[in-house]
Structure 1
Amino acid sequence: MAEDLAGGAVVSTDPDGPDGVRMTWNAWPRSKVESSKCVVPVAASIAPIRSSPSLVVLPYHPLRCKPPCAAVLNPFARVDYGAKIWICPFCFSRNHFPPHYAGISEHNYPAELYPQCTTIEYAPPPLDAAAPPPPPVFLFVIDTCLIEEELGYVKSAMRRAIGLLPDHALVGLITFGTQVHLHELGFADITKIYVFRGTKEITKEQILDQLGLSSAGVRHGGVAGAPGYPRGPQANALHPSTSVNRFLLPASDCDYTLNALLDELQLDRWPVETSSRALRCTGVALTVAAGLLGACVAGTGARIIALVGGPCTVGPGMIVSKDLSEPVRSHKDLDKDAAPHFHKAVKFYDNLAKQLVNQGHVLDLFASALDQVGVAEMKVAVERTGGLVVLAESFGHPVFKDSFKRIFEDGEQSLGLSFKSGKKWEVTFVFLPLGSGTLEINCSKDIKIQGIIGPCTSLDKKGALCADTIVGQGNAISWKMCGLDRTTCLTVFFDISPSERSGQQGIPNPQLYIQFLTNYQNPEGQMRLRVATIMRKWVDGSNTEELVEGFDQETAAVVLARYVSLKMEMEEEFDATRWLDRSLIRLCSRFGDYRKDDSASFTLHPNFSILPQFMFNLRRSQFVQVFNNSPDETAYFRMLLNRESITNSVVMIQPSLLSYSFNSPPTPALLDVSSIALDRILLLDAYFSIVIFHGTTIAQWRNLGYQNQPEHQAFAQLLQAPQDDAHMIIKERFPVPRLVICDQHGSQARFLLAKLNPSATYNSAHEVVPGSDIIFTDDVSLQVFCEHLQRLAVQS
C-alpha cells in the first residue's frame, strides 16, 4: 500500500460540482450508532456564492413552503400540475401555486423546477428602485509605533490604495501609537484631530460624545453641502446628523487631504526607554473605529482595515507589558496558563466582534512584524466578521505589498471588494454594502445541524433542526456573514437523529435533502438570494459498499483538519496526533479489506487509499505541530484553513511537488526526499509558501552563468519554467504566498525538506539514492507509518 500512497496532492477537475457543495459522505447511514462507526463526521463544505457560468438568475421573489418550514421551491418538489399544487420534499406539506403560476404544465414549468437548476439565484426588484445603493466604506487604522523605514512602506502602500479606490467610496483615517488620533478629513483648511487616551477602556457612548455625535446633540457640527462635505446621495446615506461627514468622505473629495496627511504622518512621538517596548494601544484604536462606524454607517457594510506593526502593550487588548524582560506569550505559556493577558484580550476582542457583527462591519487585519502582534487574540473578531488576514515579516515584504494592493486594484486579478471588475463579470470577492449576508439551512427530517466552522457568526436562531452537540458556531439554523467572497468556504456539521415516528412510518424515504439559502448583496448593490438544494441517499449502515462508494477522501481530510484544529483550541490537553491516529485505525479497520491478524492481506478501496497519506501529512503539518510556530502564526494558518476551498485546503495539508529536468516536461513528483536530484529543479506549493529548489549541479551551472550563453538556451528555459509557474500560482492566490528560491544544501532548503516524507534520514544514510539528500529527523517515514497502520487495523 505504501507505494501507492507516496505521491503528491490529488488533482481533480471541478470537484465542487455545480452546487459548490462537497460532502465527506455522499451516502448517509440511517442511525446515530452507524454514523459514529463511520468515524469521519458527516459534514458538508459549501461555497455559498461560488462563481458559476451556468447559474440561472430569476428576476422575482422565490416561492416558499408554508411556515415553519419555509423551504424554497426546487427541482426535487413533487408537482401536481392539474391541481396546481407542489409538495415540499423537506416537510411533505402541500402548497398551492399562486395565481401568477397559473400557466404551468408538464410542458411549461418555471426555471426553479428544471432538473439542472439545483442551484438558482433570485434577484427581485428593489422596493425603492430610485434609491442608489450605499457606497462602500473603508476606515484605515494605521500603527505609527514603527521604525522610519517601515512607516515609509506603509505610506507607499496607502498612497497606492487611495489611488485605486473608486471615487464614491467613503474613506476615513485613524492613526495610533500611545494615543489614538482620529483625523477629521472634512476640515481641509488645517489638520484637525480628535485624540483618545490609549491606557483605558472607552465606551461607544464616550466616543460619540467626544466626537459630538451623541444623540444628546452635536457640538462640532458641519453643514451638509458646505465646502469639503458630501452632497447628494452620499450625505443622505449616512447618519441623520450630517456632522459625521467630517470623518468619512468620498475618495474623490478627500484625495488631496489624505495624501497631505500621509506626507505629514510621523512616528509616534512618545519616548521609548531602551528596556521597554513602544506603547501601542491597538485595542482602543479598533474600539474608536468600531464606535465611529456604528454612529456613521450602522447597518451599512464597512471595512476596518488595520495595519498593525507590533504587539498591543497598553489598554484593552494588551498582549504583553511594555517591559522587554517579559516575553510575548508562546504556545507553551498558553498550555500552562502562564500568559497573564491572553484571556482578558480574547474577551475584549470577543465583545468587539459582537459589536461589529451587530453593526454589519468587517475587521481586516494586516499584521507585519518580526515579532508577534496579537493575531491569536484578534482571531475571534476577524473570523466572526468574515475579515481578511495577512501575516508578513515587514510592510515592505511582497506578501504584504502585493496582498494589500490586490484588495483595491481593478482587473481580472482584483478581489472586487468595492466595485465591479472591469468589463467582465468575474469578480473573485464580493463586498457586502449592507452587511446583510446571511446563511440559512433547511434539512430533511432525521437530520440536525451541529454548527459551522468558518468565517461567520451564529444568529442564535434556534429551531427543531438544532442538534444537542455543538461544533463551532452552533445552536442555530441561520448565520450572519459580514464579509463574504466567491471563494469563502464554510464547513457544516450534521447529526443524524432519527425520531421514533420515522421508524413507524413504514418504508422510509430513500433520499435526504438539504437546502442552503444565502442572502447577499453583489458589487452592484443588488440584493440576491442564492438557493442550493442537494439530494443524497440514505443507506443501511451495514451496507459498507455503498458507504465506501460515496466517500470523498479529500473533503474528509480537510474536515478532520478543521475539526482537530478547533478541538486543539477549545479543549485543554487535547492530543491531536493520538486522536487522528486512533480515528484512522478505526476507519481502516471498518472499511479495509483484510484477513484477521494478517497485515500483508490489507487493502483499501481507491476512495480511501490516499486518506492515510493525508493523515500522515496532517500529523506533521503546522495545524497540529505548533512547536516551531508562534500562537500568531498558528492562528493565521487556521483562519485560512477554515475559509478556503477544499482544493486549496488540501494543498495546505499536503503540498504538491513538480519536477523540472532536461529529460522530460514538468511532471508531478513524489512528496519524498528521494525526489531530490543533482540535475533537477523542484517546485513545492505549500500554499503559504512557494519553494523553487535547485539541485547542486543545476545551482553550479547557474552560478557559472551557463544560462547566459547562446548555446545553452535549453538550460535558460529550464531555469525560467519553474519561475513562470510559481508566478502563475502567486498571481491567483490571496493572501500572496511567500516565494523562496533556494539550492540543495543551502540554508533555506529547510523550507522544502520540512515538507518531504523522510524516507532517508541520518539513520538510513546507506540507503540514500546517489545525488539525493537525507533529512535529520526522528519522525517515521510514510512507509513505516502505513506498516504500523496495517498491523493495528487488522488486529482482532
Structure 2
Amino acid sequence: MANSDPEGVDGVRMTWNVWPRTKLEASKCVIPLAASIAPIRPHSDIPTLPYAPLRCRTCSAALNAYSRVDFLAKIWICPFCYQRNQFPPHYAMISETNLPCELYPQYTTVQYTLQTNPDPNNPSNAPQLQPVFVFVLDTCMIEEELVFAKSALKQAIGLLPEQALVGFVSFGTQAHVHELGFTEMSKVYVFKGSKENSKEQVLEQLGLPAAGRRSTAGYPKGLQNGYTNTVVNRFLLPASDCEFTLNSLLDELQTDQWPVQAGHRASRCTGVALSVAAGLLGACLPGTGARIIALVGGPCTEGPGTIVSKDLSEPLRSHKDLFKDAAPYFKKAVKFYDSLAKQLVDQGHVLDLFASALDQVGVAEMKVAIERTGGLVVLAESFGHSVFKDSFKLVFEDGEQSLGLCFKLVLNKGYKVGVQVDAAWGESSSFLFNFSFSGMLEISCSKEIKVQGIIGPCTSLEKKGPNVSDTVIGEGNTTTWKMCGLDKSTCLAVIFDLSSTDQSNVPETVNPQFYLQFLISYQDPEGKTLIRVTTVTRQWVDISVSTEELMHGFDQETAAVVMARITSLKMETEEGFDATRWLDRNLIRFCSKFGNYRENDPSSFSLNPCFSLFPQFIFNLRRSQFVQVFNNSPDETAYFRVLLNKENITNAAVMVQPSLISYSFNSPPQPALLDVASISADHILLLDSYFSIVVFHGMTIAQWRNMGYQNQPEHQAFALLLEAPQVDAQIIIRDRFPVPRLVVCDQHGSQARFLLAKLNPSATYNNATDIAPGSDIIFTDDVSLQVFCEHLQRLAVQS
C-alpha cells in the first residue's frame, strides 16, 4: 500500500472527500455520503491538554482549528452555527502569537484530560476506578471442554491487574452466583433457569440493599478503590484477594449434574445467567467500566433467550428457517436480548461472548446486546481450539514478549518479511489495556448536513436536533450515541444526508467549505476521563458543472466497506431483501454515471482510475460470507457481521476482498491477483481473508518438502522459502483479534478449498483447456470477474 496510514492522525476516512451541494446531486452519486471514524485510535501526533474543551453556547461544538477568532474582543466564532462566544478568563493571554493548542491548524484532533473524583484532602492522590469483570461460565459441557474453559479462566484471572474487581456466575439448568467474599465455605445463590428475573428481583434474592452506588463527590470512608466495601465485596472482589478462592472454586466445579433424557439436549439457561450478571452489576456498580465475559458451549434451551427446544429431533434454525419465518424461538429470543441490551447500555456495561461449540449457541440472537454495548465476540469449534485459547489469552496477556519473540524470529532468519507491521502495534502492553469504557459520541455538522445514523458498535441516545435526518440508517434519530466499550480498533460508519434539494436555494456567497466534528468522551483503563475532539473540513463542489473534483475525492476502500455494512444491515432488517440484485443495480447506476462510453457500445466503456477497483470490490462482496449466507449458519453470519461493523476500513476491506501474497525463488514476496491463475506449482501463496490465514503450497513445492529437501544444507534457500510465509502469517495473527484460523495446505489437498473459495474462478471445468501448466481450476458455475465486468459494461452503456 502506498499510504501505510490512510486514516491519518484524525482516524477519519470518507467515501467522497468533496461533496455535492444538494440532496438530488448526492443521490446521483449512488454511493452515500459517509465517514468512518476510529474514535480513540492511538497516534503519537495527538496533543493532550490538562483542561476541559471550550464549547459553543448554541450548538455545543468544541473550539477548534477552524474557529474564527477576534483577538482584541476575545471572541471566537463557531464554524458550525456562526455563534459568537466569549473566551473565559483563563484564555485572557490569547493572541496571534500566543495561541492555545486547539487553535493550531495542524491539531485537527486534540485530546483533553479531565480531573474526576478528586480526593478532597489530596487531589493529586485521587484513587483510580479499576475495571470490573464478571465471568459467566457454562457448565453444560463434556468434561474435556469444561477443563479447557476452566484453564483459560484461571489463566485470565492470574493476568488481571491486582485491583480489578472480579465476579463469577456459573450456569447449566440453573444459574449460580458465587459469593467470593465468604471464604469460610462455598456460598452460592441459585436462580431458576426457566424464570426471567428483573434487576430488582436479582437485587432482592442476593440480599443487596439499594445503596451500592458509586459516589460522585470525593470518596468518603468505607470506599475501597472507589467502591463500597460491604455491598460489593460479597460478590465482586479485587483479583488479588479472590484469586485463590476462585481457583479453588473452579477446581471443584463439575459439569452440570442435572440428568439429560436420551434424545434430548441439556437444559442450558444462558439468558437467565446473563440477565442475573447484568442485574448484579446494575445493583452494585452502575455507571462503572464493567464487562460481562460469557463462555458459552451450546444453545440456550431453558428460560428467556431459548433458541431451540430440548428435543434433539428439532434442528437448530438455519438461514432458510429465518427467511421463511419458520424459527419459532428466534423473535422472542431477539426481543429478550434487545431488552438486556437496553439494561446494559443504561448501566454502561459491556457483554463479551466467547462461544465454542461444534453447533450453534445463539450468537445471532445475542448480536444485538453484543453490538450495542461494544462487546467482543469470538466463535470457535472448541475451548481447546487455538482460535479461542489465543484470542482469550490476548485479551488479558501482556503482549510485549510475544511481539519481541516474533521480531527475533524474523531477524534471525535473515530474510525480508512480506507483511507490513502496524506502527501502533507495540504501543500498548496488552489488548485489555487498550479498552476504554463509558464512551459518549457527539457529532456536530455544518447546517446543510444531517446525520442519518451510524452502523457500528454504539447505541442511539435519541437526542433530536436540527442535524438529525428523517431517514434512519442503523442507530439513528440522534446526534449523540453511547459506546459502553470501545478500543483502538473500534470504527464507526456515519451515514450523512443533505437538507437542500434545490441548487437555486444555495446562495452564491455560501462557505465553500463544510465542517464535521466528532467529540468523544470516555473513561480509559486507568479510570481517567478523556475527551477527544476531531474536527475535519472538506469542500463543496457543483457537480452540474464538473465531476472531476468529485471523482478524485472518491475513496474506493471506504466506499466498498460502507456498502458492505449497509448491505448486511438491510439483509437483517428488510424482509425479502435481495442483496445481490441491490448491489448490481447500484453498481450499474454508478458505472453509468461515472464511466466514459458511447451509448450502446460496450467496447467503448472505461472507468477513471479513481473508480477502477470499485467493481472488483463489489464482485468480491457479492461472493463474500456477508451476502452468500446460505453457506454459513446464522451464528457464523452474525459473527462475521459484528466484526465487519467494528473493524477499521483496512481490516474490513480485507474481509470483503482478501489479500494474496506470492512467494517464489525468483523474486521477493509480492502481491498476487486474487485469481485462480495465481496458483503455480513452484509458488507458495499466503491468503489473508481476516477470519482465516491460508498458507498454500504449490504441487512441486509440496513434493520437495515431503522429500525433505529443506533439511539438506545445500537447499537452505528452499528452507527459507518454506519458512517465509509461516513467519508472515504469525505476524498477521499476532496483530489481530479475534485470532484468525491458520490453515496450512497443499495444492489438490482437501483444505485447499479455503483458498479456492476466495479466488476469482477465471479457470473452471468449463474452460479447463486454457489453464497454464501447474495452475489449477475451480469447480463452480459462478461467473468470473471478467464475465461480470462484460455484463456490467453492457448494462451500464444502455441508453
Q: TM-score, normalised by structure 1?
A: 0.94
Q: Name structure 1 gaps, 5 residues minimum.
A: 1-9, 218-230, 416-420
| Structure 1 equivalent of residue 406 of structure 2 | none
The answer to whether the Cα contact below 8 Å between 1:429 and 1:487 also exists between their aligned partners in 2 is no
Please say if residues 16 and 22 of structure 1, whose CA atoms lie closer than 8 Å, have aligned partners that are also in contact: yes
Q: Secondary structure at the match of 1:658?
A: strand
Distance 1:234 1:738 in 2: 45
Indicate how the Cα distance of structure 1 residues 234 and 670 shifts in structure 2: closer, same or farther if over 3 A, else same: farther
Q: Could you tell me which amino acid in structure 2 is paired with residue 26 of structure 1?
A: N
Per-residue deviation, residues 379-423 of structure 1 (Å, max 9, x unmatched): 0000000000000000000000000001111234899xxxxx999
Quote how far apart the aligned CAs of 1:629 are.
0.2
Alpha carbons of structure 1 residues 167 and 639: separation in structure 2 relative to 1, 3 Å: same
- 2:240 matches 1:238: no
SS in structure 2 of the partner of residue 642 of structure 1? helix
* d(CA) in 2 for partners of 1:125, 1:292: 29
Find out whether 1:360 has 2:348 as its counterpart: yes
Measure the CA separation in 2 of the matches of 1:786 and 1:238.
Answer: 62
Q: Does 1:581 align with 2:571?
A: no
Q: CA deviation at 1:201?
A: 1.2
Structure 1 stretch 15-24 or stretch 97-106: which is displaced more?
A: 97-106
Question: Aligned to 1:255, which of 236, 243, 247?
Answer: 243
AA of the residue aligned to 1:461: K
CA distance in 1, matches of 2:96, 2:563: 45
- Residues 1:175 and 2:163 are matched in the alignment: no
Letter in 1 for 2:182: F
The answer to whether the 8 Å contact 1:682/1:692 transfers is yes
**What is the Cα deviation at residue 522 of structure 1?**
1.8
Answer with 535-544 or 637-646: which moved more: 535-544
Equivalent residues in 2 for 1:421-440, closer than 5 Å: 435-440=437-442
Distance in structure 1 (CA, Å) of the matches to 2:117 and 2:172: 45
- 1:270 counterpart = 2:258: yes
Q: Specify which of 593, 598, 603 is matched with residue 596 of structure 2.
A: 593
CA RMSD of aligned residues (A): 2.0
Q: Specify the alignment match of 1:14 in structure 2.
A: 5
Deviation at 1:124?
3.2
The equivalences for 1:128-143 within 5 A come to 128=118, 129=123, 130-143=125-138
3-state secondary structure, aligned to 1:671: coil
AA of the residue aligned to 2:90: H
The answer to whether the 8 Å contact 1:413/1:731 transfers is no
Match of 2:654 in 1: 651
Deviation at 1:83, TM superposition (A): 2.1
How many residues align structurally? 766
2:38 counterpart residue number = 47
Q: How far 1:189 sits from its partner (Å)?
A: 1.5
SS of 2:233's equivalent in the other structure is helix
Task: Tell whether the 8 Å contact from 1:57 to 1:123 is kept in structure 2 after alignment.
Answer: yes
Contact 2:519–2:532, Cα closer than 8 Å, also in 1: yes
Task: Provide the residue aligned with 1:78 in structure 2.
Answer: 68
Name segments (4+ residues, structure 1) moved above 6 Å: 499-502
Instruction: Give 1:245 deviation, angstroms.
Output: 1.2
Asked if 1 retains the 8 angstrom alpha-carbon contact of 2:231 and 2:284, the reply is: no
- Over 3 Å counting, the alpha-carbon distance change for 1:234 and 1:311 in structure 2 is farther
Q: Indicate the residue corresponding to 2:418 in structure 1.
A: none
- Contact 2:435 2:487 survives alignment (8 Å): no
Map Cα deviations across residues 26-71 of structure 1 (whole Å, 9 max, x no partner).
Answer: 111111111100000100000011111011111112112122x111
> Could you tell me whether the CA contact under 8 Å between 2:490 and 2:646 is conserved in 1?
yes
Task: Verify the 8 A CA contact 1:428 1:487 in the aligned structure 2.
Answer: no
CA, structure 1 residues 164+714, in 2 after alignment: closer, same or farther (shift >3 Å)? same
AA matched with 2:163: H
Please tell me whether the aligned partners of residues 17 and 553 of structure 2 are also in contact (alpha carbons under 8 angstroms).
yes
Q: Return the alpha-carbon distance in structure 1 between the equivalents of residues 749 and 435 of structure 2.
A: 47
1:589/1:674 CA distance change after superposition, 3 Å = same
- The answer to whether the aligner puts 1:315 opposite 2:306 as a matched pair is no
Which AA in structure 2 matches 1:567? K
Q: Which amino acid aligns with 2:516?
A: I
Q: Deviations over 1:97-148 (max 9, x none)?
A: 2222222222221111111001001113335234312221110000001111
CA contact (8 A) 1:408 1:414 kept: no
Please name the residue that 1:700 is paired with: 703
Which position in structure 2 is the counterpart of 1:744?
747
User: Structure 1 residue 688 and structure 2 residue 678: aligned?
Assistant: no
Deviation of the 1:523 alpha carbon? 2.2
One-letter amino acid of the counterpart of residue 334, structure 1: L
Contact 1:430 1:486 in 2 (8 A): no
- 1: CA distance, partners of 2:293 / 2:401: 20
Match of residue 787, structure 2, among 784, 788, 792: 784
C-alpha spacing 1:233/1:721, structure 2 compared with 1 (3 Å): farther
State how 1:139-154 maps to structure 2 within 5 Å.
Answer: 139-154=134-149
Query: Contact 1:132 / 1:233 at 8 angstroms: preserved in 2?
Result: no
Q: Does 1:610 align with 2:613?
A: yes
Pair 1:559-2:547 in alignment:
no
1:373 aligns with 2:376: no
Normalised by the length of structure 2, the TM-score is 0.93
Superimposed CA distance per residue, residues 483-507 of structure 1 (whole angstroms, 9 cap, x where no aligned partner): 0101100000101112889936442
- Could you tell me which runs of 5 or more consecutive residues in structure 2 were left unpaired when the two chains were aligned: 213-219, 404-423
Residues 551, 233 of structure 1: alpha-carbon distance in 2 compared, 3 angstrom cutoff = farther
- Looking at structure 2, the residues matched to 364 and 539 of structure 1 have their Cα atoms a distance apart, in angstroms, of 44
Q: How does 1:379-418 map to 2 (within 5 A)?
A: 379-412=367-400
Counterparts in 2 of 1:267 and 1:453: CA distance versus 1, 3 Å: same
Matching residue of 2:85: 95
1:123 is paired with a residue whose SS is: strand
Q: Cα gap change, 1:98/1:687 in structure 2, threshold over 3 Å: closer, same or farther?
A: same
Task: Name the amino acid aligned to 2:727.
Answer: D
Partner of 1:3: none
Residue identity over aligned pairs, in percent, reads 71
**Shift in Å, 1:466:** 0.6
Moved more, 706-715 or 504-513: 504-513
Q: 1:37 aligns with which of 28, 32, 50?
A: 28
1:639-696: per-residue Cα shift (whole Å, max 9, x none)? 0000000000010000000111111111111100011111111110000000011111
How far the C-alpha of 1:154 sits from its partner, in A, is 0.7
Report deviation, 1:428: 5.4
CA distance in structure 2 between the partners assigned to 1:403 and 1:236 by the alignment? 29
Residue-by-residue CA offset, 1:728-785 (whole Å, 9 max, x unaligned): 0000000000000111111110000000000000100111111111101101100111
Shift of 1:561: 0.2
Alignment partner, residue 114 of structure 2: 124
Distance 1:477 1:501 in 2: 26
SS of 2:354's partner is strand
Aligned to 1:512: 514
Preserved CA contact (<8 Å) 1:657 1:685: yes
Equivalent residues of 2:154, 2:247 under 8 A apart: yes
Residue-by-residue CA offset, 1:302-326 (whole Å, 9 max, x unaligned): 1000000000001000000000000
CA contact (8 A) 1:277 1:323 kept: yes
1: CA distance, partners of 2:2 / 2:709: 35
Q: 1:59-106, CA deviations, whole angstroms, 9 ceiling, x for partnerless residues? A: 112112122x11111111111222222111111111222222222222
Q: 1:282 aligns with which of 260, 270, 276?
A: 270
Q: Where does residue 228 of structure 1 map in the other structure?
A: none
The residue identity in structure 2 corresponding to 1:593 is N
2:216 alignment partner in structure 1: none
Matched with 2:638 is: 635
Whole-angstrom CA distance in 2 between matches of 1:432 and 1:738: 24
